[in-house]
Amino acid sequence: MEAMRSIIRKYQHKHISLVEAGVTRHRSIFNGLNALAQDQPDCKLCKPEVVIIHDAVRPFVEEDVLLKVVIAAKAHGAAGAIRPLVSTVISPSADGCLDHSLERARYRASEMPQAFLFDVIYKAYQQCSDYDLEFGTECLHLALKYCDTKAKLVEGSPDLWKVTYKRDLYTAESIIKERISQELCVVMDTKEEKEPISYLLEALRNELNHVKVACGALGYAGRDTQHILEQCYSFACVNFMTSDFHKTKKLLSMLEESDLSILYPVVVVSVHFFDFKLVPLSQRMENLMWIREFAKEVKKRNILLCGLLISYSQDEQKLQETLTQGAIIIAALIRERSLGFVGQLLVA
Amino acid sequence: MEAMRSIIRKYQHKHISLVEAGVTRHRSIFNGLNALAQDQPDCKLCKPEVVIIHDAVRPFVEEDVLLKVVIAAKAHGAAGAIRPLVSTVISPSADGCLDHSLERARYRASEMPQAFLFDVIYKAYQQCSDYDLEFGTECLHLALKYCDTKAKLVEGSPDLWKVTYKRDLYTAESIIKERISQELCVVMDTKEEKEPISYLLEALRNELNHVKVACGALGYAGRDTQHILEQCYSFACVNFMTSDFHKTKKLLSMLEESDLSILYPVVVVSVHFFDFKLVPLSQRMENLMWIREFAKEVKKRNILLCGLLISYSQDEQKLQETLTQGAIIIAALIRERSLGFVGQLLVA
């Protein structure tokens, strides 16, 4: 319970009531239904028309699927998401040999979410036996057995799979990383048309799915800015031909004020164009120090700051190569969101 | 066929014969069996006692499971790997509602690999109908139906799962990355007991599962070295209090000569201790240039080289913090194996 409470605090969830789990899955669900039925004064929820039962181990359920099972439950009394079977299902005999195999096309895997008219599923749980509560696994089966309610089966999305094995944790991590890495917001003072900038954007678009550009948009806290800060977990802040970090500092303080980084780490790459022939090396070192200091500070708020120096060459082909390399580095930093690279000054 | 040939060339596979696929899974398997039965002169294989049938989409099959199904097939005529069902299996009625659900404990998912006495499975395929060849999915079923051979069911490992959805590709990538990132080989001239080195090793052991140390072991191409080069995909080459890259260069040339990087990218981190107060900045820049040049060269051979500067401080606590940060950076480079960081000089 304490772990759940700390999650609720950390992610600032509202409209939530915690109910003690039972020793089995079905007893836990029954406890939840009882809490809803009793309309307790300290319970923020009251008896609903429809309840959704879902597994926390299926973290990627889409709103669309939730809506579908609720609508189907209103019409049929019960509904559940299903998926095609990936493997053939077989029945072993007592000696561990094949007895028979099922015709795969005639069966489905029963998944979550499932939705029920509250009265149907509550009645089913009130009537079901201790054996059901101990060993049963299927709520749809209880609705059928005790209320004669035939659940409507709704096709679920592939993302409904269950985090069961260690490998599923990798998958979950990769899916989250991909989702939050699809969109990069490029913040800059200068106009997009400027030669090297337009090429950098093109190179970034080749590396990433969505690249949004906000030109000077951080000067005021308008609607656009708000929108970006609510949606985007990756930023490249371009400081063109300047060693000033004004833009990056402004972005960092806006990110610190927003709640964006509560859920996932936010990556900010501070991009600087330098002509290595003109800028003395000591200045690079200063940049490094600046980045390291600020990175340490904002890391506490789950913001991962890195610097990227792009060597500004007069030779056009060389410049394009450098910009392509810069885009590859930005994409790698965004995709991996690794604490190991925080405060580093990379060179394209 | 050309794609398969290029894979065989690229990974230098031997003892392999390619057979044209059929339009369905069963026709492909039958083509393979026919090729084995015919003992063709240009076929490198001949009719075996036992055949294993496996799916390429289950890339993580363990030798142990292969052995088990072969032994069981020799005894029973047929054998296949099974796994517990993850979800309840249900049967929908014609109107898309729940008809009945199966008792999960009584069924298993039938997976691959499967093994058969050649004569059993070949006879089954020779007798089976066009309908079986078009729509069937289960080889064990054919052996049962046409040869009355009841397959022995062998418990498979969780890694037998099938790469079916896009998310499974993420998983496969993560599993491979984890496997080749578990072991780091630290190569160095100096003795392990030296104060900062021993602390660096301790910090690395906290970050990674296995850290092997090879002290000066690269001086000769002995058995130990050979063993390391065949097993390990991650190296940290420590150049203590020197700006010489002798050790790193030696390692790189040995890696270039070996076939190690054919299969997976090999990460090499060239670690350098510097007292920033003593070493002029221009020297850091020289290092950077050296790393970039060599990195570009060895990248062609799938070797990813990065540099890591560790600031050597007389203050013990400060030094320990820096070494911990260095270990975190090395672990991040090893885990992610990203092309984006090739040639970078990172600073701990």
Does the beta-carbon distance from B109 to A88 stay under 8 Å?
yes
Omega of the bond leading into B158 within 30 degrees of 0 (cis): no
User: What is residue A293's three-state secondary structure?
Assistant: helix
User: At B341, which helix (H) or strand (E)?
Assistant: none
CB atoms within 10 A of CB A48: 10
The whole-number pLDDT of residue A241 equals 59
The CA distance from A344 to B296, in Å, is 20
Measured in angstroms, the CA of A199 and the nearest CA of chain B are apart by 18
Residue in chain B nearest A338 by alpha carbon: B332
Complex confidence, ipTM: 0.83
Give the mean pLDDT of B97-119. 94
Written as six digits, the tokens of A252 are 């960092």
Question: Which superfamily, per CATH, for B2-82+109-164?
Answer: Spore Coat Polysaccharide Biosynthesis Protein SpsA; Chain A (3.90.550.10)
Residue in chain A nearest B330 by alpha carbon: A340
User: Taking 60 as the threshold, does the pLDDT of residue B219 lie above it?
Assistant: no
Considering A9-18, A221-230, B219-228, the range whose residues carry the highest mean pLDDT is: A9-18
Residue in chain B nearest A347 by alpha carbon: B344
- Owner of token pair 């925080």: A342
Does the beta-carbon distance from B90 to A153 stay under 8 Å?
yes
Residue in chain A nearest B92 by alpha carbon: A107
Query: Which residues of chain B does CATH 3.90.550.10 include?
Result: 2-82+109-164
The whole-number pLDDT of residue B3 equals 92
Which of A69, A97, A98, A181 is the best mutation test for B, with the most CBs of B within 10 A? A98
Query: Which residues of chain A does CATH 3.90.550.10 include?
Result: 2-82+110-162
Average pLDDT, chain B: 88
Considering A94-98, B102-106, B309-313, the range whose residues carry the highest mean pLDDT is: A94-98
Which of B83, B90, B311 is the best mutation test for A, with the most CBs of A within 10 A? B90
The whole-number pLDDT of residue B179 equals 87
The whole-number pLDDT of residue B15 equals 84
User: Taking 60 as the threshold, does the pLDDT of residue A219 lie above it?
Assistant: no
Q: Which 3-state string (H, E, C) describes B230-246? A: HHCCEEEEEECCCCCCH
The CA distance from A199 to B259, in Å, is 38
Partner-chain residue, chosen from A85, A98, A159, that has the shortest CB–CB distance to B150:
A98
Lowest mean pLDDT among A18-32, A196-210, B227-241, B322-336: B227-241
The CA distance from B276 to A292, in Å, is 15
Residue A15 burial (CB < 10 Å; 0-12/13-18/19+)? exposed
Measured in angstroms, the CA of B211 and the nearest CA of chain A are apart by 18
Please list, in sequence order, all residues whose beta carbon lies within 8 angstroms of the beta carbon of residue B183, skipping any fewer than 6 positions away: B208, B209, B210, B211, B212, B231, B232, B233, B234
Query: So what's the architecture of A2-82+110-162 in CATH?
Result: Alpha-Beta Complex (3.90)
Partner-chain residue, chosen from B281, B328, B346, that has the shortest CB–CB distance to A285:
B281
Does the beta-carbon distance from B110 to A87 stay under 8 Å?
yes
- Report whether CATH 3.40.50.360 matches the domain B183-347: yes
The CA distance from A221 to A225, in Å, is 6
- Report whether CATH 3.40.50.360 matches the domain A174-347: yes
Does the beta-carbon distance from A86 to B328 stay under 8 Å?
no
pLDDT digits (tens, 9 = 90+) for A297-332: 999 999 999 999 888 888 889 999 999 999 999 999
Query: Which residues of chain B does CATH 3.40.50.360 include?
Result: 183-347
Please say whether the beta carbons of A91 and A165 come within 8 A: no
Query: Which residues of chain A does CATH 3.40.50.360 include?
Result: 174-347
Contacts of residue A83 in chain B, CB cutoff 8 Å?
87
User: Taking 70 as the threshold, does the pLDDT of residue B32 lie above it?
Assistant: yes
Please say whether the beta carbons of B88 and B102 come within 8 A: yes
pLDDT digits (tens, 9 = 90+) for B142-196: 999 999 999 999 999 988 888 988 888 988 988 898 889 888 999 887 666 677 8
As beta bridge partners, residue A213 has A186
Sheet of A183-188: strands edge to edge?
Answer: A210-215, A183-188, A234-239, A266-274, A303-311, A345-347
As beta bridge partners, residue B331 has none
The CA distance from A251 to A301, in Å, is 14
Contacts of residue A98 in chain B, CB cutoff 8 Å?
78, 80, 140-141, 144, 150-151, 153
Phi and psi torsions of A347, nearest 5°: -125, 125
Which of B71, B93, B97 is the best mutation test for A, with the most CBs of A within 10 A? B97
